[in-house]
């Protein structure tokens, strides 16, 4: 008998490459997912040169789309890298996870696109009420 093994990364983040799920904790109200990047390094947004030299890391908590009626709490461990190019204006930069995060955003990309669709369909206060956003 052939056994099917579901990988958590493919189940939880089907459109995100190089992500590792460290843990998933589910209770009645929330799904807490701890994840980090599986990439060896990242490209500097200033000069584009790649770097694998880690300066530090910290946790980000971007809001995500709900799952089966439960609030999803993402705990992303992101790394800050040194830029290798001495002529670059940035000494360090933080990695982004394409398809999941963007710089300065407190929402995941899939939450952003979902809310944009709600906003376009309903517009204004009706869309905010439906999405549960405070105005």
- Contact status, residue 108 vs residue 98, Cβ threshold 8 Å: no
Residue 46 and residue 87: Cα distance in Å, rounded? 10
Question: Toward Zn ion, which CB reaches closer, 43 or 65?
Answer: 43
In sequence order, which residues have a C-beta less than 8 Å from that of residue 52 and are 6 or more positions away?
40, 41, 81
Torsion 10-69-77-101 (CA) sign? positive
Q: According to the binding rule CB under 5 A, does residue 31 interact with Zn ion? A: no
CB of 43 vs Zn ion, minimal distance in Å: 9
- Window 68-127: residues binding Zn ion (CB under 5 A): 83, 85, 88, 90
Interface region with Zn ion, contact rule CB under 5 A, candidates 11-19, 42-50, 60-68, 119-127: 42-50
CB of 74 vs Zn ion, minimal distance in Å: 27
CB of 89 vs Zn ion, minimal distance in Å: 7
Q: According to the binding rule CB under 5 A, does residue 43 interact with Zn ion? A: no
Q: Which class for 54: exposed (0-12), middle (13-18), buried (19 or more C-beta within 10 A)?
A: middle
Q: Residues interacting with Zn ion, by CB under 5 A? A: 44, 46-47, 83, 85, 88, 90
């Amino acid at each position: 008998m052939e056994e099917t093994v579901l990988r958590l990364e493919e189940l939880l983040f089907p459109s995100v490459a190089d992500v590792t799920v460290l843990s998933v904790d589910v209770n009645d109200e929330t799904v807490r997912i701890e994840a980090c990047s599986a990439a060896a390094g990242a490209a500097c947004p200033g000069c584009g040169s790649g770097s694998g030299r880690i300066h530090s890391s910290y946790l980000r908590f971007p809001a995500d789309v709900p799952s089966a009626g439960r609030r999803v709490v993402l705990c992303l461990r992101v790394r800050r890298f040194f830029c290798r190019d001495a002529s670059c204006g940035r000494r360090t930069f933080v990695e982004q996870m394409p398809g999941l995060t963007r710089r300065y955003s407190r929402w995941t990309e899939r939450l952003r696109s979902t809310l944009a669709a709600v906003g376009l369909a309903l517009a204004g206060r009706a869309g905010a009420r439906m999405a549960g956003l405070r105005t």
